[in-house]
Chain A
Amino acid sequence: MKETIIPIGPFHPLLEEPELFTLKVDGDTVIDVDVRIGWNHRGIEKLSQGLTWDQAPFLVERICGICSTSHPYACVLAVEDILDLEVPPRAQYVRGVVAELERIHSHLLWLGLAGHFIGYNTVFMWAWKYRELTLDSLEKLTGNRNHYAMFKPGGVRRDFSAEAMDFTMKAMDETDKALKMFLGVALDDPI
């Protein structure tokens, strides 16, 4: 058996972030792979050691660009757990709304990318088009399309305005309608 080693990376147009895959191949069969990561290690844990508990959510929010609720949410929950803090119901609702909107935009993003990767770019274009409604709602509600900075140990940093909530309700109705249409189109596509 003749083994060939093919390195892919660490910098390669196919890769979204630097990583090195050392493939061991026999003809067309991949026998083994060695993965090296760490080119983008930012040391968030060490950085956050120098911050107060109030500052840490802003840092951990930046762990991931498209899931900027999950990490601060986990962070403030941990702090609340340690301090035994009770979060007021309205703040819990605000957190819930932000987290759910982020879930919607994240799912649409990945739906679009899944379409893109299989070469079905209509799905990509449409999923990302309708994702804009969610991002607009988040911008109106929190002030940012991403990295909302809403979370604070013990509560949230700001309330929603009535106007933004109206906008979100309408945007969600529209998203719902658009996605139903989109689902029908994508599933019934003769191509």
Chain B
Amino acid sequence: MSDNNSIDVLKEKLGEKIRDIAQPRKRRVYLIVDRNDIQDAARIIFYDLGYRLCTATGIDVKNGVEIIYHFYHDEKRMMVNLKTVAPKPDLVTKSVAAVFKAAEWIEREIAELFGVTFEGHPDPRKLLLADDWPEGLYPLRTDYPQKKVDGFEPQDVDEPHPDATHIL
């Protein structure tokens, strides 16, 4: 089941605020907005379209940290992925915790692991890392060193290992 209704509603309600919108597959919509419009977009997706917030993810990209809020509609079985970028060097974006209480923890996690500041977050403490974790060290950034495991070398995947069973 799919519908183009969601995209039309989003286009109509958000209008100028949409940086980019795409539907690469039947059941997935990518919506990119400015960091200042993230709350408005989240409200429309949640209240007007009836999607629920699944989670949020962060990715360290060239020009900052990209935050993606993943929304799912259980009846339409569709996903809307709301993207925004917290640009370098300050990495500041708006929190959606005022819209969804549930976003609090995941934003705290993204904040401590990427060093993003969520403006308007009600409780910006660390979530997972230890209290004495060094300031300014953000593990999920790509410049954070990947600790090498002794004796581990990624294997060449083009050449299957002789003991590997075949792929069906």
List the interface of chain A (C-beta within 8 A of B). Answer: 37-38, 41, 43, 45-46, 49-55, 88, 90-91, 94, 152, 154-159
**Given A43-B139, A52-B154, A156-B168, 12 additional A-B pairs, CB 8 A:** A37-B127, A38-B129, A41-B129, A46-B140, A46-B144, A50-B154, A51-B154, A52-B155, A55-B154, A91-B167, A157-B164, A157-B167
Does residue B5 face the partner (Cβ distance < 8 Å to A)? no
B138 to chain A, nearest CB (A): 11
Determine if A38 and B128 form an interchain contact, defined as CB atoms under 8 angstroms apart.
Answer: yes
Which 10 residue pairs are nearest across A and B when measured between Cβ atoms? A38-B128, A155-B167, A91-B168, A41-B128, A50-B146, A158-B165, A155-B168, A54-B157, A52-B154, A52-B157
Give every chain A residue within 8 A of B142 (Cβ-Cβ): 49
For the residues of A in contact with B, the DSSP-based class is: loop
Chain B, 133-156, CB within 8 A of any chain A CB: 139-140, 142, 144, 146, 148, 154-155
Q: Which residues of A contact B154 (CB under 8 A)?
A: 50-52, 55
Least CB distance, B132 to chain A, in whole angstroms? 13
| Residues in chain B within 8 A of chain A (CB atoms) | 113, 126-130, 139-140, 142, 144, 146, 148, 154-155, 157, 164-165, 167-168
Asked whether, in the complex, the Cβ of B128 is within 8 Å of the Cβ of A152, the reply is no
* Chain A hits for B127, CB < 8 A: 37-38
Residues of A within 8 A of B168 (CB): 88, 90-91, 94, 155-156, 159
Distance between Cα atoms of A154 and B168 in the complex (Å): 9
Bound-state CA distance A38–B113 (Å) is 12
B162 to chain A, nearest CB (A): 15
Query: 16 interchain pairs (CB within 8 A)?
Result: A37-B128, A38-B126, A49-B142, A49-B146, A50-B146, A50-B148, A51-B154, A52-B154, A55-B154, A91-B168, A152-B167, A154-B167, A155-B167, A155-B168, A158-B165, A159-B168
Distance (Å) between the CB of A67 and the closest chain B CB?
A: 16
